[in-house]
Amino acid sequence: MGLLVMWGCGRTATVTELDIVPEPVFMVQKEGGFTLHSTLKMSITGVGQNSPTLKCMMKTFRSAHLHPSLVPSSSASDIELVLNDTVNTELGAEGYLLEVRGDGIHLSANSEVGLLYGVQTLMLMLPPDVTKVSYSAVTLPECTILDHPRFEWRGLAVDDSAGVLGKKFVKRLVDVMSQYKLNRLQLASPCVTDTDERAELCEYAAARNVALMVVDSGGWEFETDTVYCRRGFYEGLERAREGCRVVMSPADYCSFDRYQADPRYQPKAEAGVVTLARTYSFEPVPDGTSGHLAEAIVGGCGRYTAIVGSDARRAEYMLLPRMLALAEALWSPSEKRDWSLFRRKTEMQKERLSARGYNYCEGSFTPLFTARRVDDATMNIEITTEVPNTYIFYTTDGSTPTRASSVYIGPVNMTRGTHIKILPVYKGEERDSVYEFVIK
């Protein structure tokens, strides 16, 4: 998100770029803009004022220090929310059309859920610290966004058999799931044991389009014809052949119990590493799958099991930002997914999460190498990490790199057989051990 911040009678901001997660189906940014003020007028067509979803949307506006007053006519409003009286087949049940125009913001959908998701997208267009900073005005770029999900089932499964999480954690998790358009949360008891608390959470989640299921920790089959496949793609396809609807959750992509970076620098977790990039590469429909087998795959699910001695902060750390990668893998069209773009967008989302008090992992600083042949003796080497703005210090003479060593600034030619050592530094701190590679 490009952001220009100015000071005058109050803090104001002009947004110049949009960093929306998950990536919308269609988005075009135009010349011009529209300025939102803290007090604004909003008209709503087709939604009752007692709707739980509407109340949730109003609370979402207020969390961003926006205080809309409802007006009866769209001609007098800054924001217009419209529930379509004629179904827009392109949007489906959860999609929305959001237009920021020079004279106001127009949001339409076939359902209240679609309106909710449109409002969530609008919130992602605002400055990342908007929940803790009261801006007197924010100017958004004119744009058109048409959006709807690729998969019906976009979920998380949380097992709190250790009994360390509780109601507050579940509500915070539901909030961030709704923000990024995840819509199924399976809770293995005793995450919440009180009957009244369960009813309260179900109502809270439903208003945010998160279906909350309380299941036994012994198994994850949650609907008569829908199965949760955690052992891999082969199992999923076998169940699809049996006529089941399948939710894919292969451990190599979706196990948020595993480390997400070098274990030496991370809290204790299950053996194995599932990085942000690995989760982002999750494709629920295996290559070559088509017809009724492809149609039987209704989505995917990440999973996390709380352990004795952990708490809600650790749970957030293990889920974030990997659940954002999962959200884009399950919502966005496959052709719209772009790791380089998502990697950049994630940095803005971290700022947004931080402003709301969420805990998260910075990411993996393990160097990612791309080697291209120049000639028989030379390779062109490109080095990145998951986290943008990481400084990469390196040596090629066998010595241990320090912050006084050469800094990698772009692709460089190296002779085959060169022994390169790398030290990643982020925000002034050494974030990982020294890595060694031989150019082959």
Q: What is the pTM of this model?
A: 0.93
Q: What is the pLDDT of residues 341-356, one digit of tens each?
A: 999 999 999 999 999 9
How confident is the model over 138-149, as a mean pLDDT?
A: 98
Q: Name the residue with higher pLDDT: 38 or 102.
A: 102
How confident is the model over 368-390, as a mean pLDDT?
A: 93
β-partners of residue 379 are: 373, 414
Q: Specify the CATH number for the domain of residue 13.
A: 3.30.379.10
Residue 361 belongs to a domain: no
Q: Using CA atoms, how far apart are residues 424 and 81, in angstroms rounded to an integer?
A: 47
pLDDT band at 107 (very low <50, low <70, confident <90, very high): very high
* pLDDT score of 192: 65
Q: Which of 383, 415, 388 is nearest to 401 (CA)?
A: 383
* pLDDT score of 187: 86
| Residue 206 shares a structural domain with residue 348 | yes
Residue 222 belongs to a domain: yes
| Residue 62 shares a structural domain with residue 38 | yes
* pLDDT score of 161: 84
End position of a domain, from candidates 355, 377, 392: 355
| Residue 242 shares a structural domain with residue 200 | yes
* pLDDT score of 217: 43
Q: Specify the CATH number for the domain of residue 407.
A: 2.60.40
| Residue 82 shares a structural domain with residue 159 | no
| Residue 349 shares a structural domain with residue 213 | yes
Q: Name the residue with higher pLDDT: 185 or 430.
A: 185
Whole-Å CA distances, 233 to 361, 386, 432: 28, 26, 33
Residue 215 belongs to a domain: yes
* pLDDT score of 189: 63
| Residue 111 shares a structural domain with residue 196 | no
Question: Is the pLDDT reported for residue 48 higher than 60?
Answer: yes
| Residue 121 shares a structural domain with residue 215 | no
Residue 360 belongs to a domain: no
DSSP 83-152: E-SS--TTTTTT-EEEEEETTEEEEEESSHHHHHHHHHHHHHTS-TTTTTS--SEEEEEEEEEEE--S-S
| Residue 249 shares a structural domain with residue 123 | no
| Residue 350 shares a structural domain with residue 234 | yes
End position of a domain, from candidates 355, 380, 399: 355
Q: Strand pairing of 435-438 and 153-159?
A: unpaired
**Residue range(s) defining the domain that contains residue 9:** 3-147
Residue 411 belongs to a domain: yes
* pLDDT score of 234: 81
pLDDT band at 413 (very low <50, low <70, confident <90, very high): very high
| Residue 36 shares a structural domain with residue 85 | yes
| Residue 319 shares a structural domain with residue 373 | no
* pLDDT score of 8: 41
Task: Tell the burial category of 360 from Cβ atoms under 10 Å away from its Cβ (0-12, 13-18, 19+).
Answer: buried
* pLDDT score of 6: 43
Q: What is the pLDDT of residues 183-232, one digit of tens each?
A: 999 987 666 667 888 889 999 999 999 998 875 444 444 455 677 777 77
Q: What is the pLDDT of residues 288-310, one digit of tens each?
A: 999 999 999 999 999 999 988 88
* pLDDT score of 193: 65
* pLDDT score of 4: 52
* pLDDT score of 219: 42
End position of a domain, from candidates 89, 122, 147: 147
Work out how many domains the chain is built from and give that number: 3
How confident is the model over 321-335, as a mean pLDDT?
A: 98
Helix (H) or strand (E) holding 46: none
pLDDT band at 368 (very low <50, low <70, confident <90, very high): confident
| Residue 22 shares a structural domain with residue 116 | yes
End-to-end Cα separation, the chain, in angstroms? 39
How confident is the model over 124-136, as a mean pLDDT?
A: 95
Q: What is the pLDDT of residues 2-46, one digit of tens each?
A: 655 443 457 899 999 999 999 999 999 999 999 999 889 999 999
- The mean pLDDT of the chain is 91
Residue 98 belongs to a domain: yes
Residue 362 belongs to a domain: no
Residue 240 belongs to a domain: yes
Q: Specify the CATH number for the domain of residue 336.
A: 3.20.20.80
Q: Name the residue with higher pLDDT: 46 or 234.
A: 46
